[in-house]
Structure 1
Amino acid sequence: MKKTLTALTLVAALSGFAGAALASEGHAKIDAPRDQWMSVDQITQKMTAEGYKVRRVKVEDGAYEVYALDANGKRIEAIVHPVTGQILGNDQDD
């Protein structure tokens, strides 16, 4: 019984890690034609209007990767949809 419970716990833990990895890479599946993308200037303006101080914008895996400071001065790395300008996810420095 203990072996079965341990095995089930291990499988559940590994499934959680796999799901988290897929969720964090979800932005890589964006397949929007380049002529529909917002420009870097438009992304910068949108992020600035939302209270970020944009430091750098680059293209990564079919999305924009924006390096900025938030309203509290903390550094963030945001993945931004190239057509809508929506923030899909971000990492924040502690």
Structure 2
Amino acid sequence: MNPIRTRLGALVLATLALLGSHAAVQAHGDVKCAPVPKAEWRPHTELERKLTADGWVVRRMVATDSCYEVYAKDPQGKRIEAFFHPKTFERVDAK
């Protein structure tokens, strides 16, 4: 097999994988939590403790404009991106 063609194929597959993962992240960009003043947000460390106690393995947590965005493995070991209300810690699904 032609080595140039093999490398080109690998590059195309890597590019498609990168674009696909970016599209999946963008799909969740429309998640909005009910508005609450920043002063009423509970600490993200409290949410992390709650999720850990529930069997989650939290990899990363980000505060968006209105929610906590969590990258973790759920209790079944599935990689997940989830959004939580910053005051109630209720899970918020994409609309």
Q: Residue 55 of structure 2 aligns to a residue in which SS?
A: coil
Deviation at 1:89, TM superposition (A): 2.4
| Bigger relative CO (Cα 8 Å, ≥ 6 apart) | 2
Q: C-alpha displacement at 1:25, in angstroms?
A: 6.8
- 2:13 corresponds in structure 1 to none
Equivalent residues in 2 for 1:6-17 (5 A)?
A: none
Match of 1:53, as an amino acid?
V
For residue 74 of structure 1, what is the aligned residue in structure 2? 78
Aligned residues: 67
Structure ranking higher in strand proportion? 1
Identity of aligned residues (%): 37
RMSD (Å), alpha carbons: 2.1
Aligned to 2:53: 49
Change (3 A) 1:64 1:29: closer
User: Normalised by the size of structure 1, how large is the TM-score?
Assistant: 0.62
Gaps of 5+ in 1: 1-23
Give the conservation status (yes or no) of the 8 Å contact 2:33–2:67. Answer: no
Given that 2:33 and 2:92 are in contact with CA atoms closer than 8 Å, whether structure 1 keeps it comes out as: no
Partner of 1:85: 89
State the SS of the aligned residue for 1:31: coil
SS in 2 for 1:44: helix
Query: TM-score with structure 2 length normalisation?
Result: 0.61
Unaligned runs of 5+ in 2: 1-27
